[in-house]
Homo-oligomer: A and B are copies of this chain.
Amino acid sequence: MRPSKYSGLDKGTISLGLAESDFDIPKEVKEAMVNAILEGRYHYEMGGVPEFLEAAVEKLRRFNGIDATEEEVLPTVGAMNGIWLSYKVLLKPGDHVIVVTPTYPPLIERPKSFQAEVTEVEAREDWHLDIEAIEKALTDRTRVITICNPNNPTGAVYTRDELEQLAELVLRRNLYVVSDELYEHLTYDGKRHVSIASLPGMRERTITIFGFTKTHGMSGLRIGYVFAERELAKRMREENAAVVIHPGTIEQIGAAAALKCDSYVNSLRDYLQKVRDKLVAKLREVPGVELRPPEGTFFAFPNLSSLFESDKEAVDYLLKVARVLVYAGSGFGKGGGGHVRMNFCSPISIIEEAADRIVRALTRRSAP
């Protein structure tokens, strides 16, 4: 079955739109889910499926450097459920949230459902954290700072040093961090993902959102998890019990298997680094295209503002002339305008074809 990123598109159009993988989910996940069905593991599991909690604790220790207990891991109905729950337990009406942008739109929008006020603080020109700007945006009512690391859509992978600076601010002002780390496994050029919750003092001040939708291609399976300290996790568990009871057991069992698929994740990362290099090299051929190679994620986020009046015009042009679907950067908040997001989690042949079409279309546009 084709990912839904192709839905509604002409047969000849390539989708670099919706953030879905073109690759099949790990076979270990499929096997685990089929076995779970055959073994009849489809009854309530109020506390979470034990093997999922256990695998998550092990992975948090090994990969994220976070020492968690099983009570501090909450299975969620995908990352969206984790985002909603994080803001639900942290915010009350009138609270203030700083969101570093460009970023995944629900991270900006959701606090407003809880009558909180949002300030978007743009990343620096190199897409890294602008600590000074964040500090300036603080008010007496600021409760949460939200980051997406590695960043969707810019591909920035925050360094330990800048996360330590952010942590210092958070601890000094008694704030919380909501950290969306869905792309944690996809970092290039030997860069290592650092979870802000692993820094001293930060495990009590951070809710971290993890998932399987992106790297593992498990978008329709609706499973993710959050790490939060015991009391926060307990409140999130209670809130979710009233909204969905808990995520499906079959998905939790699949997710437990996914957490052990290191070779799948490593192969994908190595492959995507080649895809990224190819895409970046091609796009940079075009005069007027500005593109910082993404340090992580599966997105390129070129600036096309010297070629188009607006990013929406660029999207329409590329869909019509290159027959490639990309997303407008202005949808990702302050600092995204003028850019477009290209999802390159596809076979290299597809990305080469898409890149060739885009280069041809843009070159025609940029010719004097």
Contacts and interface: CB of A to CB of B under 8 A. Distances in A.
Given A3-B43, A43-B4, A250-B33, A244 B219 contact: no
Contacts of A242: 80, 84, 106, 109-110, 113
A246 interface: yes
Residue in A4, A217, A220, A223 with the greatest tally of chain B CB atoms within 10 Å: A220
Given A84-B243, A222-B245, A244-B77, A37 B33 contact: yes
Interface residues of A, number: 49
Interface string A192-227: 000000000000000000000000011111110000
Given A243-B81, A244-B244, A41 B220 contact: yes
A265 interface: no
Contacts of A102: none
Contact of A44 (B18, B46, B109): B18
Interface string A26-64: 000010011001111111111000000000000000000
A333 interface: no
Contact of A20 (B1, B43, B217, B245): B43
Contacts of A33: 37, 250
Contacts of A221: 42, 248-250
Contacts of A245: 77-78, 80, 222
A25 interface: yes
Given A80-B244, A84-B244, A222-B248, 6 more contacts: A24-B40, A30-B37, A34-B37, A110-B242, A113-B242, A222-B246
29 contacts: A1-B39, A1-B40, A1-B41, A2-B43, A3-B43, A3-B44, A4-B43, A20-B43, A20-B44, A25-B42, A33-B250, A34-B34, A42-B218, A42-B221, A44-B219, A77-B244, A77-B247, A78-B244, A81-B244, A84-B242, A84-B243, A109-B242, A220-B248, A220-B249, A220-B250, A221-B248, A222-B244, A222-B246, A243-B244
